[in-house]
Structure 1
């Protein structure tokens, strides 16, 4: 559908002072026996300190849609508690999720290149991240200072969360008021200029009013990386009226502001064209000892940063306001949640580009004659194009969600149910930073960084720092912006014209129902259904000339009706054990990410007849998950064990069809095994982690178009061949992953923690050199590939350690060492160009105080 549209301070001192003042007003404990009695909050904290297992206890925190204790839930669910997040020294969501096996992270070049992009069971989970059960779609890097726990539901999950959720979903549970009074503060300092301060204060003000505030200030350089730094601060106040009563009203606000020099990592060494090998070949990041095509040998250190301090930046803010009203009618609760959120993000992001072979090189010598010689073209390698990807934008979301959940009996059959409806509106608007008036051949504005020059590296571009030395990059280079790639006039960096911005909108209306039916004490049937009415619109940005002339734009629109369901059967040999089998579906409609991530099935940005035909033919990607497993809560619910075997099948993936048109014939299959553990083995040993094996396969990757050049009177012809991706391992996914965090208490007050984390090799993307030729008679021949290139990052082990000591019941000292062996490893692999490198060894000491 198409319709016309109209033209279009580093440290906030007051945060620390407010936190200190709030702590000061919290009640102090005296020697009075009455005042020394533990409060409900103390009891809750003591339980949290003594046991981290969540399976089977405190089920209400898992959310109203989870209608049974986790041991009776026929899915693989991991609950990452605040204690593990704190002990591991995790300061962001991505750092916390590295402790969960089976989660990898994807890299990109636009939309969300450096924000949270977790892959769950091989599927992109960016659009399936929730905060307190409400979708949180915006591209961002999330903090954990206001996080109580993180819940990871694995397997097709659209019944629970709506669109997307092909591999699972992530739900962040916020810190909200609880009964009792407490105050906790942590202050950390460490290597690489690491500084972090957090505070969490909860108070009952009388008359069943609870108030809680969490705050954070963070400042650090990145260990083992030149020039890279990160600064942020945040605050999360909340208040509950009717705390502990049948009727409750909670208002909460969350604010996060961050500034950083973004780190993209290291370029890949080879391209398909310059890899010296034949057959099945691989390329990894250009790290360590490297010899270029020109015969120059040097060392690329882990510290090598190809960005420019005078150009690159990333600024982001998050506002999130929530109002929740709930009332208990005996065994049934009615809850309504309203939320408004806005995320703003701006960046100029270095993408160390290898696309023209400038890293390894394409020739043994450089040209000395002709135009290439006059330009001083560098073909022998040893340079990295400092390509600048730019973006600014905002995402606004308004959601209202109503849930009715509880229990009832029909004769001898017990029901634990949840019914609900959700309505939301999302809007994302984005543009780019440009040199005003610098246009590409397509009429789009761009930033002067060498994108219009080929080959990328020559005497002039090196002098302008468009190309950096592979072996000795200089982040402090005196880069300046010019009016174009060849102009000598300096120019400011500005935002694109308002009419050049792209806007995405979406509205969703959903209803859902879940029921956990206890047929017999040993047999439970779990059912769930959901219907979503999803309407998505995109208003493409106009070219510079169109925006300057205020020419009318247009809007593309599509509506998808999604129905998903899940069913599971649980057999309980004993009260604390279960065997289960389940089936669940997921649906990812076109434009599901609203341009906030890597959109594999967009609505397009053109209104030509061919583009509108594609728009009309778009399909929803469908996913099905089959799972069997076993769960056990041991040692009086102190230790939770889970084992799951599963298969996930995806159909309708968008690929190129045999007629060189977009078709929805792509298929993918993920098979795997998961084992997880969480809780107390003994009174002095706590463990968290598990092992995941995945067999991720691209069953059908569609086709690739090859062009046979014209010969004589014969015009060029296009022939379709099966995609190089077909039959290969799905990208940005690890076959094997293992995580273990263990905490030992050998003596009263002493805590020794350690972590071991393993991830096997990951693939970023594939390419081959098949070609097509034709004879004078027009007979087309497909020449088989002599080289098939895979971009990979290697396997790695990482080890962490922690030592903690309680000086008094209210004061604890601890030291964390992360990446204990100073391992050089990579965490993300993009389809091409680059891989993200992990920080080196770092250490920080923390003093924790609680009242």
Structure 2
């Protein structure tokens, strides 16, 4: 996750203005840095916008950022490295929990494990960038080489291209600077937490600097049984021409991760066994529970349903970036080229898979002598099926961006502009782990996990450890992979054949332009437009018996734009109104995430013809954002306050139409308000956080096809989707975060964080049914609607540190101070991810 140096020759500015670190369209708020007045208040020009640079870190804004935060008509948050370090964050997910309005979705059956942030109710997994370059592959990202994280909220395809319906995340890398320093830290704590990092920058000559970051991390997970994580990374970079008009930087980033992935806790009910009528909430069971058969037990927060003998996750990330740039007076020409290669392989347990084993499907065992009794079916509840989700694959990306940016005047009107072009090629290829030679009913090779047995749990599957106890699972069970669910012969776990692997390819050609136009000292017009030519191709994996492959391809032309008007009552305050669009074309994630608008994966002539018909009808999902806001830099620029009210509308969502065909009539609407504060309240007292309230609604979820009892096979009745009118999934209505640090005496500081997230829903279902009676199809209304959900929660963290000298500091972090049991990710069905328990670790930091 890194790129090249942003170092450039700049005039020296006063510390507080530099600390504010303008990041324009990607930034908001003051950084946690030195005190001092803000010279921008005296003369707020676009040229100064462009030169707001953190000199102590030699980091400037990206080319598309054409205005300071206070002059940018967008809701944006910058998470500085100081907050990342103070909160003890070690991953992107850790860091983003400090930003209100962001929730995380759990991995799905077809969704690879990795970061899956939701911004304003929209999945932003495919809208994550590193130094402005898309970082598509499914990853669990680290922060050891991260300078700051910029979160853009609202439709922003103009900035980044396809996707970005709810916003995007831009990760800024640590790169060479113009001074020599070394910072090293070592941490140790509970749950066998161990972490070491180093950040060394060497100024080799007046114009050459070299920087390297390194990290080693090893831990168990507090409050969770058996789970562990290990990783290491290194990120060297070198800049030539530092401080001159012509500069070149070469950088490399590598991260290797190994872990036992967490299975989470299954939801307690399915729509088929949920008790009662009306709305029934189905949450994961933690604590005491009673099954339908009357068995009572306790599910501890540490309960792990996976298998140490089977489950694993290995991932590698490699990125090479070359950036060259030259200043032509007030304009700069920059070219950035990046190659990235990401690999991931895993087998992880997805508990229960909606089979009804947890709560049970019958209060009594099967009747003696029945087929179910002879099989030993376990139907009274208290069991969990250990479904195995498997995947291996890689993602390659080559991107080249050319940007011309800077400032100039046309008469009395000032312009801060950026124009550019982007070319990118992406390829994602994936397969699964299988038992060679065994095909299930759909012609797919799978692991032997009981997936061909119905119901999933009986005495035989329990004896093979395919199913385990709800209340007392054993992750050390000696699971064996057999040649099939009924075979007694062991078989190796191997990868699918090359012909069985699915490949996605994409090519993007883009042009974009931005202009921040200062019409008057108090009036700024912000404009942006982008055109993308996006071609996507999928080559589905074929069964072993297939003799040829199929291919589906589609090309979309995307045009997006944004416009905003900023009124400045004073140089350090602004009121703004803005409009922006986003476009998500079919197959935009290339199989690297959960995507409802995929091209299809046919494996036969008939399936190909069907997929081709759907392909020709696919539409681009379009999103529009409207926003009103206010911003202010107070106390000489040391404190930033922002507030916004907004609405985001999405059209053309892919759903089932009234004729049981794929149609693009789905709609979502997200309304909300948010406030943010960051910076210094008083000398020695800093804050970072805010509050977000959302009204996330599925306006039109399309239709659901019900199988008709008593009718010919394939006969369906179309009814409005249960999702229509419901709260958008994976999205919290209310979220609050606040991190604050106080230095009561010189050298000693104490800090803490409070984080709140309201209830989140994973998915919905109901029990409507249809039957054919006397030639008439009758739909029986639902008597209950199941809401799969995780409850809201408060979490508190604390930190204390003592600085012995300018070179040595000792700190102690306590995370989840009250040992709160809560869930941080909700899956559509099946399960939810449980958060770690209380942990503590100390960190010794040495600088010179």
TM bin (shorter chain): over 0.9
C-alpha separation between the residues in 1 aligned to 2:137 and 2:94?
19
What residue number does 1:4 align with?
A: none
CA-to-aligned-CA distance 1:377-428 (integer Å, 9 cap, x gap): 1001001001000000000000000011000000000000000000000000
What residue number does 1:393 align with?
A: 393
- Trace 1:238-277 onto structure 2 (pairs within 5 A): 238-277=237-276
- TM-aligned CA deviation for residue 555 of structure 1: 1.2
What residue number does 1:173 align with?
A: 172
What residue number does 2:576 align with?
A: 580
C-alpha separation between the residues in 1 aligned to 2:450 and 2:688?
48
Contact kept? 2:271, 2:767, Cα under 8 Å: yes
C-alpha separation between the residues in 2 aligned to 1:650 and 1:40?
44
C-alpha separation between the residues in 1 aligned to 2:236 and 2:218?
22
Contact kept? 1:806, 1:812, Cα under 8 Å: yes
C-alpha separation between the residues in 1 aligned to 2:440 and 2:72?
55
User: Which residue of 541, 560, 565 maps to 1:564?
Assistant: 560
C-alpha separation between the residues in 1 aligned to 2:35 and 2:781?
56
**Which region of structure 1 is more displaced relative to structure 2, 234-243 or 100-109?**
100-109
CA-to-aligned-CA distance 1:453-512 (integer Å, 9 cap, x gap): 000111110011100110001001111110011100001100011110000000000000
Distance 1:637 1:718, change over 3 A: same
What residue number does 2:289 align with?
A: 290
- TM-aligned CA deviation for residue 707 of structure 1: 2.2
Extract unaligned runs of 5+ from structure 2. Answer: 1-11, 22-30, 41-48
Contact kept? 1:684, 1:744, Cα under 8 Å: yes
Whether 1:756 aligns to 2:735 is no
C-alpha separation between the residues in 2 aligned to 1:246 and 1:619?
46
Distance 1:237 1:111, change over 3 A: farther
C-alpha separation between the residues in 2 aligned to 1:820 and 1:112?
32
- TM-aligned CA deviation for residue 429 of structure 1: 0.2
- Trace 1:363-382 onto structure 2 (pairs within 5 A): 363-367=362-366, 368-382=368-382
Contact kept? 1:42, 1:180, Cα under 8 Å: no
**Which region of structure 1 is more displaced relative to structure 2, 335-344 or 364-373?**
364-373
What residue number does 1:839 align with?
A: 836
Whether 1:730 aligns to 2:734 is no
CA-to-aligned-CA distance 1:228-282 (integer Å, 9 cap, x gap): 0000000000000001111100000000000000002000000000011111111
Distance 1:224 1:491, change over 3 A: same
- TM-aligned CA deviation for residue 610 of structure 1: 2.4
User: Which residue of 44, 47, 50 maps to 2:33?
Assistant: 50
C-alpha separation between the residues in 2 aligned to 1:200 and 1:236?
9
What residue number does 2:821 align with?
A: 824
What residue number does 2:6 align with?
A: none
What residue number does 2:9 align with?
A: none
- TM-aligned CA deviation for residue 719 of structure 1: 1.6
C-alpha separation between the residues in 1 aligned to 2:14 and 2:176?
12
- TM-aligned CA deviation for residue 43 of structure 1: 13
CA-to-aligned-CA distance 1:173-230 (integer Å, 9 cap, x gap): 0000011111000100000000000000011101400100000000000000000000
- Trace 1:535-554 onto structure 2 (pairs within 5 A): 535-546=535-546, 551-554=547-550
**Which region of structure 1 is more displaced relative to structure 2, 434-443 or 121-130?**
434-443
C-alpha separation between the residues in 2 aligned to 1:228 and 1:486?
30
What residue number does 1:599 align with?
A: 595
C-alpha separation between the residues in 2 aligned to 1:405 and 1:639?
29
- TM-aligned CA deviation for residue 127 of structure 1: 0.3
Contact kept? 2:32, 2:680, Cα under 8 Å: no
**Which region of structure 1 is more displaced relative to structure 2, 102-111 or 478-487?**
102-111
Contact kept? 2:32, 2:679, Cα under 8 Å: no
What residue number does 2:133 align with?
A: 134
Whether 1:350 aligns to 2:349 is yes
CA-to-aligned-CA distance 1:323-359 (integer Å, 9 cap, x gap): 0001111111110000000000000011012412100
Contact kept? 1:397, 1:426, Cα under 8 Å: yes
What residue number does 1:850 align with?
A: 847
Contact kept? 2:15, 2:34, Cα under 8 Å: no
CA-to-aligned-CA distance 1:545-584 (integer Å, 9 cap, x gap): 12xxxx1212110000000000000000000000000000
What residue number does 1:710 align with?
A: 710
User: Which residue of 788, 792, 806 maps to 1:791?
Assistant: 788
What residue number does 1:687 align with?
A: 687
What residue number does 2:24 align with?
A: none
Look up the SS of the partner of 1:609 in the other structure. helix
Distance 1:359 1:148, change over 3 A: same
Whether 1:452 aligns to 2:452 is yes
Distance 1:372 1:177, change over 3 A: same
CA-to-aligned-CA distance 1:78-129 (integer Å, 9 cap, x gap): 0000000000000000000000000000113235453100000000000000
- TM-aligned CA deviation for residue 51 of structure 1: 4.8
What residue number does 2:491 align with?
A: 491
Look up the SS of the partner of 1:564 in the other structure. strand
What residue number does 1:23 align with?
A: none
Look up the SS of the partner of 1:372 in the other structure. helix
- TM-aligned CA deviation for residue 637 of structure 1: 0.6
When the two chains are superposed, the root-mean-square deviation of aligned CA atoms in Å is: 1.9
Look up the SS of the partner of 2:84 in the other structure. helix
CA-to-aligned-CA distance 1:629-674 (integer Å, 9 cap, x gap): 0000001110011000000000000000000000000000000001
- TM-aligned CA deviation for residue 66 of structure 1: 1.1
- TM-aligned CA deviation for residue 62 of structure 1: 3.6
- Trace 1:292-441 onto structure 2 (pairs within 5 A): 292-367=291-366, 368-441=368-441
C-alpha separation between the residues in 2 aligned to 1:599 and 1:46?
38
Look up the SS of the partner of 1:386 in the other structure. strand
Distance 1:660 1:49, change over 3 A: closer
Contact kept? 1:51, 1:679, Cα under 8 Å: no
